[in-house]
Amino acid sequence: MQKGAFRLDVNFQYHDLSRLVHGGDYVSFAELTVRSPEAAEHGDAEFRVFRTDTIARYALTELTEISLAVPYQRITLRVDEDDEHHRDETVDGLGDIRLGVRHFLAFEESYQVSLLGGLSLPTGRLNKVTAASYLSHDEAGDLGVTVPRHSHLQLGTGTVDPFLGVEALFRLDEHWMFLGSVNATIPLYENRYDYQTAPSATFTIGPAVKIDDTRLILGLYAETFWSGRDRFDGADVVGPGGVFDGSLGVPNTGRFEIALRPTLTWGINDNLTLNLTGRIPLYTRIRESADESDVQLTEDFGLFVGLSYNF
């Protein structure tokens, strides 16, 4: 890495999260009517995420670089039946900006090891959601209250969140290499609406090979993702029929997932590089609530397209 070097990355992501998980297993919408009648009353659903990240990187020294990542997100939800919990809507705008530092512990021809860390800043839009918004139809009926109309779609966490990671690359010979990384985000407090996003971590590992007489590199990586359950510490909901505790683990959050990430990297010229990555989930296990009623949308397929330019 040359001191004073500047690189600009523009990454595009598309995620189709229209597949449901219930009780820790994949469930089709047809099966859902049998296995979870309460959830099925909302009908079929489509949930899609489009995101761009513009990342500027600058080398302070031969071993240390700083970065600024500015995301834009567009989230679309479509359901067959609108209600207070689910409705057709689209939100878009600036996400949480990330400031980062990467330092290479080793930068040799045969191997590279780097540490990275930084902060995610609360620039993404939030929705104010009250404890009553987490009531199910049955719970609201028992309390004698109405669930307020609301949206759970948000573009940020509302908090300053530290992140850290380790990345390594080992060259086995002139063609084959092995890559691995561990990255974690650790929110430390709740936002102004009493909501705290859970810690999450991703572990990725796998081989890549450079194709003879080309600028192409092909890789196949296994990715493991873990996220805890989000927390909400709001005021209790009081109705004629009783009280609902406003401090709760947020339903439909928290999961463990294993996915494959096939990749293609093409050095178009000495300065411009194209990166293509797919994400194919193989196994998903959700963090169930006490009554095992959690239902989550999970990814059918994700696509990442990235362009990097070295100035």
198: left (phi over 0), alpha (psi -120 to 50) or beta: beta
**238-296 pLDDT, tens digit each:** 888 888 888 888 877 888 889 999 999 999 998 999 999 999 888 888 766 555 566 67
Structure confidence at residue 275 (pLDDT): 94
Helix, strand, coil percent content, the chain, rounded in steps of 5: 5, 55, 35
Percent of the chain residues past pLDDT 70, beyond the cut: 85
**125-168 pLDDT, tens digit each:** 988 888 888 887 778 888 888 888 877 788 899 999 999 999 99
Global confidence as pTM: 0.85
Percent of the chain residues past pLDDT 90, beyond the cut: 50
Q: Does domain 6-310 have CATH number 2.40.128.130?
A: yes
Structure confidence at residue 284 (pLDDT): 82
Q: How many CB atoms lie within 10 A of CB 14?
A: 14
Token digits for 212?
């003879």
Give the residue extent of every domain in the chain. 6-310
